[in-house]
Amino acid sequence: NRYILAAVDYLSKWVEAKVLPTNDARVVCKFLKSLFAKFGAPRAIISDRGTYFCNDQFAKVMLKYKVTHRLSTAYHPQTSGQAEVSNRSLKRILERTIGENRASWSDKLDDVLWAFCTAYKTPIGCTPYKLVYGKACHLPIELEHKAYWTLKQANFDLAVTSDHRKDYSNCEVFRALSFVLYSQALHILSFILGIQYPNLID
């Protein structure tokens, strides 16, 4: 394996990457199809001007999934700045993970991706994992001690109880307000037996 093909979501900063022996159009299209099956097709994809992106096979995939393909400006990496930042971070984490054993770098990619996606990102105010899946990622140390689950369950029970109490209070307030409005709309009329009231008949 010689290459890493990476895809970055601009909103959540989530990264998907795969180790590949080649970087031709076939493996790129296969990688994108697997992403579309997991996350759905995006509105647009921004890529560099490599031949593995600029070819008929890639264009057919974009047309099939109705995805707009935008090319970054040549010699202007800022166009795909998010990808550049993510690539640097992945490279830095990978270097620290493998240490001196460079031969095993391809086996560590999943760990690197996990570390990246569970790390706090200042621009989004949380981790990419939480933004994508709607919950925090449970790390092995948390699962081992079960501290996170216990705390989460306690917080969940308190939150549900609080929500139910608020719902009940809102319901009581609404009932009281409805009664007041109904009472204000009432008009008490007195009738005398035997007398007709034509003005009250539509």
The CATH label, of 3.30.420.10, 1.10.3720.10, 3.20.20.70, 3.40.50.2000, for the domain at 3-133 is 3.30.420.10
The per-residue pLDDT for 161 is: 53
| Domain boundary assignment for the chain | 3-133, 138-202
Report the C-alpha gap between 46 and 121 in whole angstroms: 22
Average pLDDT per consecutive 10 residues, the chain (202 residues; last block may be shorter):
88 91 91 94 91 93 95 71 84 85 83 89 86 81 58 56 59 66 67 70 52
The per-residue pLDDT for 169 is: 64
Exposure pattern of 143-171 as b/e (b: 16+ CB <10 Å)? eeeeeeeeeeeeeeeeeeeeeeeeeeeee
Report the C-alpha gap between 43 and 131 in whole angstroms: 19
Predicted TM-score of the model (pTM): 0.64
